[in-house]
Amino acid sequence: MTDKTASDILRIAVAQLNPTVGDVAGNLVKAREARADAARQGADLVLFTELFLAGYPPEDLVLKPAFLKACERAAQDFAGDTADGGPGVIIGTPLKRKSGTHNSIIFADGGKILAERYKLDLPNYGEFDEKRVFQAGPEIQGPVNFRGVRLGIPICEDIWGDAGVCETLAESGAEILLVPNGSPYYRGKVDVRHQVVIRQVIECGLPIIYANQLGGQDELIFDGASFAIGSDKTLAFQMSQFEEAVNVTTWKRNRTAAGAQNRNNAAAGAQNGNNSEGWVCSEGPMSKIPEKEEADYRACMLGLRDYVNKNGFRNVVLGLSGGIDSAICAALAVDALGEERLRAVMMPYRYTSKDSLTDAEDCARALGCRYDIVPIFEPVEGFLHTLTQLFEGTKEGITEENLQSRARGTILMAISNKFGSMVVTTGNKSEMSVGYATLYGDMNGGFNPIKDLYKMQVYALARWRNTHVPPGALGPSGEVIPNNIIDKAPSAELRENQTDQDSLPPYPVLDDILECLVENEMGVDEIVARGHDRATVTRIEHLLYIAEYKRRQAAPGVKITKKNFGRDRRYPVTNRFRDGG
């Protein structure tokens, strides 16, 4: 039966915060500030996210004994804080035990660590490779009694798979499940998470609170959007996406329903509807989740901001060509960092059009950033003169075109070295897929905010930004990317009257073929069946494969799709496979 001394009200704060991998001391400070905030709001318990004290994902830092010791010290210190009689805490940290090194949480209250729980299902797909550094927990561990309430604490992947963790916890007497997560963003991920949790609620009959990390970590963006699904399978609360928050949610218990929950028949109770009146969220946020263009833009903005700030760069520099890709990267940089932290550089050559010069200047003026013009005629002509004897008797072509790009890349890197500015590189996913980028030229840079956006998605985000200012943006309102940049035919301007469509299919066609090949791993026959020309599909597939060596040398960039280049898609550079060839 239910403990008659237990409280019928439990106030649970969800700390949706932005930790930094490896900054154990700084993450502990953030945790303490969040707990103090939650205490002021009347919280009984604070739920933090997965591996919060370490930052997520810590990757091979977990293999360093000194790092593990620092995390454990921080966990013990934080547990000691709870001796003040304030909120208890659930916080993620790596722990080294006799059974191995585990992705863990500590549960602390009254100045002591009351329990440890270890992640059972270690993800080893896509962006995850936890089996490399962690050992799975030895068994499903039962619920923890917190002030008369039995709480189950599965960790992230434990609720994504079919291991039966939630159902087992319900059968062991858990009343509410609290789940710390490090779930990265991709387009539409919030709906995916909701469906995962609803499926588990149906199985176990218990309300589930899903706390998710916020912030950029290299390519990964953690978007927050923490939420809960009640035992009636409806959304109990929804926190904001892409914003730090400490929100207190109030849960109330109906003792009749709670008695039914504790008869170790949770699954049957869920089927019969007996649990719909158990623990119910009576108060919590209900934030609106952004639509896809806004979500993608904010993910790119957050990723760029955190990469620059967490790595200690004072400012950034990029080549502003008058084209769509560099224009949206400039807008993202100003929105993420402020106009005073961006230097835009136009580097014209003989093929640079008057429109491009005008468009670049108009874009920089609209954004309010510094704008410099550095002509590249002399360095390019110097390279050509130096190579005259070696190139004698050969036809002028791509090699000479690439010298322009490499001169620009060298200038940007010189500015970076001189002034400590990080170079923002601006190639989109369509270009990176087919190798239309120059190594040690336009690929030079430290980070690429649009690396995982196809060309047509870049256009969609540019149009969206011209009519919206995202929350938290430091840039101006109104048209920040001149319409002429959006409307004109894209061109690298490396030769007279050049356009991208001289050698590539139209971008709507190219992007669809690439999405089929990259995201969906479709075969040539399947793609042709969608209405595409076979010769075009096989050519694009060939270009995709032979450009792998370039992508291996590319700067990291924000993950937006389900399968980005890098963590998600690991193809061999040396590869002779061709579908049907």
**For 158-178, how does the pLDDT look when each residue is reduced to its tens digit (9 = 90+)?**
899 877 899 999 999 999 999
Distance CA 213, CA 302 (A): 13
For the chain, residues classed under CATH 3.40.50.620 are 293-500
Beta strands 245-253 and 9-16: pairing type? antiparallel
- 550 labelled binding-site residue: yes
- 357 labelled binding-site residue: no
Please name the residues in contact with 457: beta carbons below 8 A apart, sequence gap of 6 or more.
Answer: 296, 428, 429, 511, 560
For the chain, residues classed under CATH 3.60.110.10 are 9-280
Using one digit for the tens of pLDDT, what is the confidence trace for 69-93? Answer: 999 999 999 999 999 999 999 999 9
Higher pLDDT, 163 or 408: 408
Fold of 9-280: Nitrilase/N-carbamoyl-D-aminoacid amidohydrolase (3.60.110)
Ramachandran region, residue 98 (left: φ > 0; alpha: ψ -120 to 50; beta: rest): alpha
- 325 labelled binding-site residue: yes
Using one digit for the tens of pLDDT, what is the confidence trace for 17-28? Answer: 999 999 999 999
CB of 84 closer than 8 Å to CB of 103:
no
Q: Is the pLDDT of residue 62 over 80?
A: yes
Task: Centre a 10 Å sphere on the Cβ of residue 505 and count the other Cβ atoms it contains.
Answer: 18
- Angle, to 10 degrees, between the axis of helix 324-337 and the axis of helix 354-367? 10
Q: Which amino acid is at 219?
A: E
Q: What is the pLDDT of residue 233?
A: 94
What residues act catalytically?
A: 50, 119, 156
- 319 labelled binding-site residue: yes
- 483 labelled binding-site residue: no
- 219 labelled binding-site residue: no
Provide the whole-model pTM: 0.91
The residue with tokens 């550094």 is 133
Mean residue pLDDT across the chain? 90
- 185 labelled binding-site residue: no
Fold of 293-500: Rossmann fold (3.40.50)
